[in-house]
Amino acid sequence: MTISPRDKNAPRDIDAPAIIAAKPDVTKPNTKKVFIKTYGCQMNVYDSERMADVLAPIGYAPTEEPDHADLVILNTCHIREKAAEKVYSELGRIRQYKEKNKPDMKVAVAGCVAQAEGAEIMSRAPVVDMVLGPQTYHKLPEMIAKVHRGTGDLLETEFDTLEKFDQLPELRQPKGFSSFLTIQEGCDKFCTFCVVPYTRGAEVSRPVAQVVAEARQLAKHGVREITLIGQNVNAYNGVGEDGNQWTLGQLIRHVALIGGIDRIRFTTSHPRDMDDDLIETLGSEPKLMPYLHLPIQAGSNKILSAMNRDHTYDHYKNLIAKIRAARPDIALSGDFIVGFPGETETDFQQTMKCVEEIGYGSSFSFKYSVRPGTPGAGLPRQVPEDIKQDRLVRLQALLYKQQHDFNLSLVGKTLDVLVEGRGRKNGQLFGRSPYLQGTHFDGPESLIGQIVKVKMTDAGRNSLIGDWVE
């Protein structure tokens, strides 16, 4: 069966690679195979790993071959219309394969499309055996049992984030040296274009002790870099070890104490929740990488207000000045939407001005996509597709130039690179710089898993090339 590969040009935060998660805990011999395909954000990547962790004790081993799978899980994304459409075409391919070659294959749809369109999926795609919203993955074994019994409810879309985390197995066997760790889920911001508050529910923070226990597990399994993730990560307010609610800054400083964890990142932040403590932590915590993803979405105050962003351009600009004062080497990344309803050419020019004034090392930019059920969908003065397209092309020309220029500015510099694995060419290794660029260089395989110094010799828009120094 050909399950379509991910779009290589798609942005990292919303179209992460299909993940075949951790090696299973062999509490039961692995007799079955599960193929998990991940769409969307880092949280889906994390969730896919956790689904594999839940399935391991009941005998499912991950496979990268969908053809051999007894269970196929599509972990879906609903953020834009295209992302959701992909799921239905994938299900069409799976149905054909299943009917012809593997009638006993079971199919599950998980993630945000499952949450938003669960009942519709069940009726539109009979190939689907079960549907699970993002807060119900701990129920997978129970759901699989129901499918095999042929009885019971096969649609699970309850919201109980804390129950999910309480029930997920403690054991994690990460794949590499860099791992995501969910510390917060859901969003209370209700930007008028966004489905997340509806698909992921209200903001919930995991308790500090749980986060630390998981980080320790990861470190024990060789992970050296942790990215703390949440839809609105800097609104983190989990219960700390002293019984008080902790901020993200406090949590980061605590996680930084864990031996073996050498690098910490966090994403995605909202400008409204970027407090002074976090900014100071960015300046003072050496394990925190000099890279910050801080979406603004648009430069015009009129559009920001229509988007219900709860900040102006000046607020954002002042924030960036403060952050740069605290951490002068920081590289910024942002998300941008063009063609939000009511956006005129003058408004769009404000977005261009914002990009010119702020300067981004990387970015993700999108045409506004109408999401049924969000307030934006009902707004007048929707922008025609050709205008959206034209604005996106102009914006990306500027953003991509900034990104390439930023990468070129690193040529000649020696940076720490966490070596993740082999590169594409023989003898080549691949790793990530502190600024998250993929970095290629020649070196022995014994360096995999280490943080090494690499002197940069060349730079493309998306990656760096260098020489191993030590």
By CB under 6 A, name the binding residues for ligand 5AD.
13-14, 79-80, 193-194, 295, 297, 335, 337, 366, 368-369, 371
Using the minimum distance from each CB to ligand SF4, give the nearer residue, 302 or 455.
302
First to last CA, the chain: 45
Closest approach of ligand 5AD to the CB of residue 247, in Å: 22
Using the minimum distance from each CB to ligand SF4, give the nearer residue, 130 or 187.
187
419 binds ligand SF4 (CB under 6 A): no
Using the minimum distance from each CB to ligand SF4, give the nearer residue, 90 or 185.
185
Using the minimum distance from each CB to ligand 5AD, give the nearer residue, 113 or 410.
113
Q: 68, 89, 140: which is closest to 111 by C-alpha? A: 140
432 binds ligand SF4 (CB under 6 A): no
300 binds ligand SF4 (CB under 6 A): no
Contacts with 215 (C-beta within 8 Å, 6 or more apart), sequence order: 181, 226, 255, 258, 261
191 binds ligand SF4 (CB under 6 A): yes
Q: What CA–CA distance (Å, rounded) separates 246 from 236?
A: 7
Closest approach of ligand 5AD to the CB of residue 393, in Å: 16
Closest approach of ligand SF4 to the CB of residue 272, in Å: 9
As given in the structure block, the two tokens for residue 431 are 């790793």
Residue 163: helix, strand or coil by DSSP? helix
Q: H-helix or E-strand containing 34?
A: strand 32-38
Residue 227: helix, strand or coil by DSSP? strand
Find the binding residues for ligand SF4 in span 194-213 (CB under 6 A): 194, 196-197
Closest approach of ligand SF4 to the CB of residue 187, in Å: 3
19 binds ligand SF4 (CB under 6 A): no
Closest approach of ligand 5AD to the CB of residue 370, in Å: 7
Q: Which residue has the tokens 């050498």?
A: 262
Q: What CA–CA distance (Å, rounded) separates 244 from 35?
A: 41
Q: Which residue has the tokens 């880092």?
A: 42
- Secondary structure of 365-413 in HEC code, one letter for each residue: EEECCCCCCCHHHHCCCCCCHHHHHHHHHHHHHHHHHHHHHHHHHCCCC
Using the minimum distance from each CB to ligand SF4, give the nearer residue, 22 or 229.
229
Closest approach of ligand 5AD to the CB of residue 236, in Å: 18
- Report yes or no: 60 and 21 within 8 Å, Cβ to Cβ: no
Q: Which residue has the closest beta carbon to ligand 5AD?
A: 335
Residue 218: helix, strand or coil by DSSP? helix
Bridge partners of 231, per DSSP, are none
183 binds ligand SF4 (CB under 6 A): no
Q: How wide is the angle at C-alpha 360 spanned by C-alphas 358 and 363, nearest 5°?
A: 130
Using the minimum distance from each CB to ligand SF4, give the nearer residue, 232 or 403.
232
Binding site for ligand SF4 (CB under 6 A): 187, 189-191, 194, 196-197, 231-232, 270
